[in-house]
Amino acid sequence: MKKGEDILVNGGGISCPEGEVKQSCHCQTSAAVVSSLHQQSPSKSNALIPPSIRLWLFKGRNSSTIPMATAKIGKTKKSPPRFLDVVTEFIEGLVETYPGLQYLDGFPEVKVVIRADASGTTYDKVAVISGGGSGHEPAHAGYVGEGMLTAAICGDVFASPSVDSILAGIRAVTGPMGCLLIVKNYTGDRLNFGLAAEQARSEGYKIETVIVGDDCALPPPRGIAGRRGLAGTVLVHKVAGAAAAAGLSLADVASEAQRASEMVGTMGVALSVCTLPGQVTSDRLGPGKMELGLGIHGEAGAAVADLQPVDVVVSHVLNQILSLETNYVPITRGNRVVLMINGLGATPVMELMIAAGKTVPKLQLEFGLAVERVYTGSFMTSLDMAGFSISIMKADQTLLQRLDAPTKAPHWPVGSAGNRPPAKIPVPLPSSRSTKSEESLSRPLQLSEQGHILEAAIEAAVNAVIGMRDSLNDWDSKVGDGDCGSTMYRGATAILDDMKKYYPLNDAAETVNEIGSSVRRAMGGTSGVLYNIFCKAAYAKLKANSDSAVTAKQWAEALEAAIAAVSKYGGASAGYRTLLDALIPASAVLKERLTAGDDSSTAFLLSSEAASAGAESTKDMPAQAGRSSYVSAAILATVPDPGAMAAAAWYRAAALAVKAKYEKA
């Protein structure tokens, strides 16, 4: 078979945005054709079939026919064999997940999700129904629940639901109060929902319809097509659902929904086009490009532009929605508004929150609007499209009450109701620090003998670490992530800078505590946390001593307490190839030599030799903690542990400095 030759397999028509249909080839072939291709060259055929399709393709190889779209050798374009099942299987999963939902047993023709507590024979409030093509999840079925939609009618992917399906939904949930249909402004939806409404009226049901067209991407006029229905429709759902839950009449519910639909404008920006199930993603949008003003069915937008920073994109979208020339939404300076940042399917929450953070101040400062509510998330998607849309709705107190009203709809965002307090408040200080005087947290004008010794030890220790930056990074590049030296350098330089201004060097305990604060602020990473724990534990032990002068024995006890804390929270101990392999032997020798009667500076120096020997011995240890635990033993044997070497270096430098001070005295 030649490259580019068609393998014609049974395919189905792909319905375009809400009722407009593209034509595709239809023919039949035996499953043996595809199976034969796979058997002749499994590796080659697998290379042609995307993994998401491959699973579907070969899980049912014993069936007599396998429906697919046209596939070309070297130009893969296939539909999954169960393409038409994706919507019904989505509904099955949805109702299994949320016990307040049910679906009508009419698959595959009737795909309707309803409230489990709403029956047309007994329901005593206005039923609110919406729907449309699938592929926009969580819309629309995710908004079925008390206080929002009573039912959602699901079409196939990007295809309007059938009239029979809409009628089934109306009959299932509509009681004597009547039914409001909320319809996005697409030709297929308008026609099918309209015909269903007329049929339902002929059966005696009271029906009202609200068409939502919130698109602000294209300038008027738009001919008979009008503005497209986009994510702003979800806000209309909420307003109508809350009004119905409050017991309003059909006319009043429809009036509030209509007014809400006239107050909202939406515009979207895409960084990629969406992928229809079983089809290859279009390359319409090239690398480094974004599409402005696109719809929610993968149709082309108003313009293609180079990628821009998010604040530039947000400004463009806001200017378009709030344009006084188009006057799509009646919003002017001083108005209260509601903001929705809507992900289009493949946009991470982090990026959506960034967009929200850029949008709110622009609305406040540049447009003079009071932002009363912000809803950020994926509300009306376009399958796996990367991008977002912005919806802005003019608000008054009644509308805000409707949006804040409780609902059991599973995908309406909780936590967004209520007035907005200031976005930021001051960082609280620890009670111990807030009660300290400025003098106690600054460098003393006159250093005591202990203060001079402590200053010399700290300065020597951090300079030793600063001088080892490149060596530590080199070792860490072989057994870690290559930044140990840089991390330690940041902490050391911060300590050196802070010591000149803030450290109360005449108070050893408080100085150790301030070293921990410097480390926490500057170092980051696991090392920063461990050294902060080290300092806090040592501080607590030293602080228990009421005397201002700290003895050698108390320093040894503080070191022992600090090591125990690092071991407790970090999980490592001796032999794990960490900084503790330098500090544990140092602590043991220090305690031993002080007990034997050595003077403090000599004991300190001898213990530093044990620290250096312990660090060097890590070459012979298997790693049991940190990233080194993923490195082979052969590589580990070539270098010592960088963390242990850094600890030994600052410990040794401090000991030498203390010894020199005592000898000089």
- Active-site amino acid positions: 297
> By three-state DSSP, how is residue 392 classified?
strand
Write the CB contacts of 27 (distance below 8 Å, at least 6 apart in sequence): 8, 9, 10, 11
> By three-state DSSP, how is residue 403 classified?
helix
CB 226 within 8 A of CB 213: yes
Tokens encoding 499 = 């010591």
Write the CB contacts of 20 (distance below 8 Å, at least 6 apart in sequence): 187, 188
Write the CB contacts of 430 (distance below 8 Å, at least 6 apart in sequence): none
Dihedral sign for Cα atoms in the order 596, 597, 602, 603: positive
Beta bridge pairs of residue 144: 149
Q: Are strands 336-343 and 370-377 parallel, antiparallel or unpaired?
A: parallel
Candidates 558, 562, 460, 547; CA nearest to 506 is 547
- Tokens 């393709």 locate to 57
Q: Are strands 127-134 and 336-343 parallel, antiparallel or unpaired?
A: unpaired
How many helices (H) does the chain have, and how many strands (E)?
Answer: 22, 14
Candidates 342, 369, 345; CA nearest to 353 is 342
Helix (H) or strand (E) holding 359: helix 349-365
Report d(CA 167, CA 193) in Å as an integer: 9
Q: Are strands 179-184 and 127-134 parallel, antiparallel or unpaired?
A: parallel
Q: Are strands 264-270 and 387-395 parallel, antiparallel or unpaired?
A: antiparallel
- Please return the burial class of 122, using the count of CB atoms within 10 Å of its CB with bins 0-12, 13-18 and 19+: exposed
- Tokens 């697998």 locate to 46
Tokens encoding 470 = 């490149």
Tokens encoding 538 = 């040592």
Q: Helical H runs in 417-506?
A: 431-434, 449-467, 469-479, 484-501
> By three-state DSSP, how is residue 157 classified?
strand
CB 191 within 8 A of CB 19: yes
Helix pair 525-543, 484-501: axis angle to 10 deg: 40
Identify residue 664 by its one-letter amino acid code.
K
Q: Are strands 207-212 and 179-184 parallel, antiparallel or unpaired?
A: parallel
Report d(CA 81, CA 57) in Å as an integer: 6
Report d(CA 508, CA 494) in Å as an integer: 18
Identify residue 158 by its one-letter amino acid code.
F
Question: Virtual CA dihedral for 60, 66, 72, 77, nearest 10 degrees?
Answer: -80
| DSSP type of residue 225 | T
- Tokens 């040794």 locate to 652
